[in-house]
Structure 1
Amino acid sequence: MRRPLESAFYATVEKRDRPELANQAVIVGGGDHRGVVAACCYIARLSGVRSAMSIREALERCPDAVVIPPNMATYKEVGHRAREIMAAFTDLVEPISIDEAYLDLSGVRDRLSISPAQALVEIVRRFEAELRITASIGLGPNKLLAKIASDLDKPKGFAVIGRAEAAAFLAPKRVTILWGVGPALEHKLWTDGITKVGDLQDKEEVWLVRKYGTMGRALFRYARGLDNRAVEPEAPSKSISAEETFDWDISAPATLQQELQPLAAKVARRMEREGVLGRSVIVKFKTVDFQQFTRSRRVAPTRSAEAILATAADIVAQEADGRAFRLIGVGCADLTDPSTDPEPDLFGFLSGARGAGPKP
């Protein structure tokens, strides 16, 4: 299992296509002062530039960086071709994003008479020869360890974490190395005196479950390098969303609601293309000081732009309390198949359902 493409993927493709930038700091993202960094090369990272940082701050940290607008069509083409190369070695490829994926190589020895490590070396060789890009690789017995290994030796690294040494390897690491431990959970763990993975290893499972619920059970396993999540080829989308960064800060509810209209329409079109309905509407907010939060609401299964907009607008009306926002996003989650969970018709009845119509 592995994550094949480095997170500096966009910048890597840009440097491939513009060799004169090979030794320069490259930032891919919006070109104006309100834009954000979509990706950056490792030279830019040495100056402290990171993804999601504002372009203004990035250029303050790295004044000599070259800022390039994203070329998503090219990135998607390269990502698609990379997945075709992976598929030659295993049918079990789970894309995580345009620039990363998990592979289950447990059957590659029987299929191609090579080891998983040899398969990964050959995949990277083909990346370099056919696509002219590099990759960072992590090899492990499960998703958790493969992902951690892939981050150990960037760029263009190859790291392996075995099952036997996993617990000892993880013990001195910060808890944030584990899947699912973000800033909020890290703070909760810190308040309980847990900062290292070894601290989790010292806790009994029942104690962790009592403190952190179902996540406690996962932490007990992850701290020991255990992970039973399977590689799921072409897993269906968990959510579909669109967002907009404003040219100026917006606080007026009516203006924010107006910005929702094209976003709701974009989400509805994508849901139509993918043939799904959403059972939750989510609105994402980012304040002027870069604080981000989301609000969601359950709805009857829908992909109607009007229904998405109405729910999102109601959420905005509740959250627009005078704060200024620099970004807003709209999405649908808890996606479902219309054949098993049909969209209600105008009167709230299931389309095509038999029975009495609305009473006068």
Structure 2
Amino acid sequence: MPSLCRDCFAHAEADFARCATCGSRRVVTHPDLFRLTVAHVDCDAFYASVEKRDRPELLTRPVIVGGGKRGVVSAACYIARTRGVRSAMPMFKALAACPDAVVIKPDMAKYVREGRRIRAMMEALTPLVQPMSIDEAVLDLAGTEALHGAPPAVVLARFARAVETEIRVTVSIGLAANRLMAKLAAERDKPRGFAVISAGEAAGWLAPQPVSLLPGVGPAMAKRLHAAGFATLGQVAALDAREAVRRFGEDGLSLVTRARGEDARRVTPDRETKSISAETTFETDLSSREALEAPLWRLCEKLARRLREKDFAAAGITLKLKTAAFATRTRAVRLPQPTRLPDVLFAAARPMLAKEADGTAFRLIGIGAQPLAPAAEADRGDLADPEAPKRAARWQAVEALRAKFGEDAVLRGRGLKK
């Protein structure tokens, strides 16, 4: 049985529970250990780990990275997680569960900087690195054994040690035959995990798992599956293609194949951007349309800037609202032509907001661009809107002034805070 020591990297085709070289018990053993090439790398509680690294006095304290009392948890260290704190949890609930937590405001510039350092270390292993977020990526190390003088499993163990030594945070690794199973494997043994799932055991491993384990199955879909009598992935996997489509529509076939552990997606270095968005949580709940329009305008400006930075245009927009009771409302509309002008985004979002502003108290508002279009197609003007290119030029001038003199150099009245 192939085995690998994660501390000294000794490896052999023989099964050993304890490393004969260094005595470590951190040994990975699996029949396909040295044949699998697809890996999912996920940093452990990344934001919180970076903060603990920079503030060693917090090492044994529960740490939450997040906003104010009305914000949400961006990340929680594993000590806080044992108290029930989770990412995206409202801060007031997190502090109720863990009142002695140290709360730190997110420093995204620092997290991006450290994430890029880790990404560069991944790219030294293989050109096939597909980022999934700041602290997460999938790699394909097929064909790299001659380059590194070791199978992918050994190379990944060395990488994990290098990240701990140089960046001083930890990672968990999932090694599998495809991207889906690599991701699920990475979540099995956190923190500092290294889990292996082969193609032959994927379906059997998934069968008893709850349907909510499958990426893409959110609370709404899980509820729908439970209502239809499907509690485990094995029950979903047993459906034939025709029945799956009949029960769950066009997504039914994909749902069944993934429930069996099948995934034909390749690892592609350029991750496809599917949407771009911006949102904000209010200090106090807002309910009137007039009160909600000011933050909506500011978000439209922010979204327009992000579209320009990422070289995209919005072909459609989605309005998101979260009530004081944490119920989410969304509305979407396609645009007559792609844009990245805030006034066009606002004009399309405003009627949707008017329909939702029915006296309900809202704690959050967001605006997103989806689907996306190439930047070259944005605001070209037509007979219905011949002034679009001129407005685009004015917006570029405004952004240039803000870049030089600050965000408050040029303001629209509707964006002013009351």
Which runs of 4 or more aligned residues in structure 1 lie more than 6 Å from their structure 2 counterparts after TM superposition? 349-352
Aligned letter for 2:41?
P
Q: Using structure 2 for the length normalisation, give the TM-score.
A: 0.81
Aligned letter for 2:84?
G
- Tell me, yes or no, if structure 1 residue 318 matches structure 2 residue 355: yes
SS in 1 for 2:200: coil
Residue correspondence of structure 1 range 161-310 to structure 2 within 5 A: 161-299=197-335, 300-310=337-347
Aligned letter for 1:129?
T
Match of 1:358 in 2: none
Match of 1:355 in 2: none
User: For the Cα contact (< 8 Å) 2:42–2:186, is it kept in 1?
Assistant: no
Once residues 3 and 347 of structure 1 are traced to their aligned partners in structure 2, the CA distance between those partners, rounded to angstroms, is 50
- Tell me, yes or no, if structure 1 residue 24 matches structure 2 residue 45: no
Once residues 289 and 312 of structure 1 are traced to their aligned partners in structure 2, the CA distance between those partners, rounded to angstroms, is 23
Once residues 197 and 237 of structure 1 are traced to their aligned partners in structure 2, the CA distance between those partners, rounded to angstroms, is 29
Match of 1:141 in 2: 177
- Tell me, yes or no, if structure 1 residue 95 matches structure 2 residue 95: no
- Tell me, yes or no, if structure 1 residue 41 matches structure 2 residue 56: no
- 1:291–1:349: structure 2 CA closer, same or farther, 3 Å change rule? closer
Per the TM alignment, residue 248 of structure 1 is displaced from its structure 2 partner at its CA by 0.4
Largest Rg, 1 or 2: 2
SS in 1 for 2:351: helix
User: For the Cα contact (< 8 Å) 1:108–1:119, is it kept in 2?
Assistant: no
- Tell me, yes or no, if structure 1 residue 154 matches structure 2 residue 190: yes
Per the TM alignment, residue 2 of structure 1 is displaced from its structure 2 partner at its CA by 3.0
Q: Using structure 1 for the length normalisation, give the TM-score.
A: 0.93
Match of 1:336 in 2: 373
Once residues 283 and 380 of structure 2 are traced to their aligned partners in structure 1, the CA distance between those partners, rounded to angstroms, is 38
Among residues 12, 15, 19, which one is paired with 2:52 in the alignment?
15
Q: Deviations over 1:161-186 (max 9, x none)?
A: 10011111111111112122111111
Unaligned runs of 5+ in 1: 353-360
Identity of paired residues, percent?
46
Aligned-residue CA RMSD (Å):
1.6
Aligned letter for 2:351?
D
Aligned letter for 2:214?
L
SS in 2 for 1:295: strand
Query: Which 10-residue stretch deviates more, 319-328 or 107-116?
Result: 107-116
SS in 2 for 1:165: helix
Per the TM alignment, residue 212 of structure 1 is displaced from its structure 2 partner at its CA by 0.8
Among residues 130, 150, 165, which one is paired with 1:114 in the alignment?
150
Unaligned runs of 5+ in 2: 1-37, 390-418
Q: Deviations over 1:66-97 (max 9, x none)?
A: 00111111100000000000000111111111
- 1:110–1:348: structure 2 CA closer, same or farther, 3 Å change rule? farther
